[in-house]
Amino acid sequence: MNLTLKVWRQANSQAKGKMETYKMEEVSPDMSFLEMMDVLNEQLMTQGIEPVAFDHDCREGICGMCSMFINGEAHGPDRLVTTCQLHMRKFKDGDTITIEPFRAEAFPVIKDLTVDRSAFDRVQQAGGFVSVNTSGNTQDANAIPIDKHDADKAFDAATCIGCGACVATCKNASAMLFVSAKVSQYALLPQGKVEATDRVLSMVKQMDEEGFGNCTNTGACEVECPKGISLENIARMNREYLSASLKG
């Protein structure tokens, strides 16, 4: 396949960026998108152009590090995949592909397609945990039976990989899907219920301070989420937050 790439280039967080156009030839449809980017970088280096910086690590869709906004969609046109799992067979010969970083005020660009998502870490640090010491002297793991349905729902929420596609996709750059996934995971488990009130209040507070937008229930996040995290989690967090606020 022959492709035209329009890629966002920005030297560092202070610099002004712009889109650059690169031509690619003989791209194999079996390549993953990031492998195509590797080839692009090899090509750029032989031309004496600095390679495009982009985040990536596991390349199997679980670490959540890759983060491109491809042809107007987070992680590109395919569903339930991250950029590293997107394959070139999803594109056609002669296509023009625009590649931009995940954009949000809370995700400042570091270089080219690399952004800083540490806002997510800070939201987790505000309360995304169960306050149990790691001494190993807790009760036996089977001491509290947990309804399988609740356990399964908690698991589904917990599969969030923290990639930020929800924020990147949302027209408001809202982080509600991400935050609600963590709040839900713990709200559904007896171990997490103990400090549910404080958790939801402080995580939402931190989320707001980071400068994410408001949720307007467009549902775009759920569609673009590579792990298919459900909007139900946002509703659950709204519920948790309301009851926590009323409790004081």
Taking CB under 8 A as the criterion, which residues in 63-102 touch another protein?
A: 63-65, 69, 71-73, 77-78, 80-81, 85, 87, 89, 98, 100
Q: In whole angstroms, what separates CA 77 from the centre of its chain? A: 16
CB of 67 to another protein, least distance (A): 9
**Strand duo 96-101 + 3-9: pairing:** parallel
Tell me which residues in 137-156 interact with another protein (CB under 8 A).
137-142, 145-148, 151-152, 154-155
- Give 22 or 38: the residue with its C-beta nearer to another protein: 38
Tell me which residues in 159-198 interact with another protein (CB under 8 A).
159, 161-162, 169, 171-174, 176, 185-186, 189, 191-192
Q: What tokens does 242 get?
A: 């309301």
Tell me which residues in 31-60 interact with another protein (CB under 8 A).
31-32, 34-36, 38-39, 42, 45, 48, 50-51, 53, 55-60
CB of 138 to another protein, least distance (A): 4
Q: Which helix (H) or strand (E) holds 123?
A: helix 118-125
Answer whether 222's CB lies under 8 Å from 231's CB.
Answer: yes
Torsion 221-223-229-235 (CA) sign? positive
115-132 burial string, b = 16+ CB within 10 Å, else e? bebebbeebbebbbeeee
Q: Binding to another protein by residue 205, rule CB under 8 A?
A: yes
